[in-house]
Structure 1
Amino acid sequence: MNSKTYPFGMSTQPAFTVLDDSDASLGIAEVAHLSGLSQDTLRWYEREGLLPAVHRGTDRRRRYSRRDAALVEMLAKLRDSGMPTEEMREFSRLVAGGAATHGQRLAILERHRDRIHRRQVELDQHLASLDEKVSHYRYLIGAGLDCDGQPVPTLPATRSSPTPAEGESR
Structure 2
Amino acid sequence: MTIKAGDTIPAATLKTMGAEGPVDITTDEIFKGKKVLLFAVPGAFTPGCSKAHLPGYVVNADKIKAAGVDTIACMAVNDAFVMDAWGKAQNAEELLMLGDGNGDFTAALGLELDGTGFGLGKRSQRFAMLVEDGTITHLNVEPGPGIDVSSAETMMALL
TM-score of the superposed pair, with normalisation by structure 2? 0.27
TM-score of the superposed pair, with normalisation by structure 1? 0.26
Larger helix fraction of residues: 1
Structure index of larger Rg: 1
Larger strand fraction of residues: 2
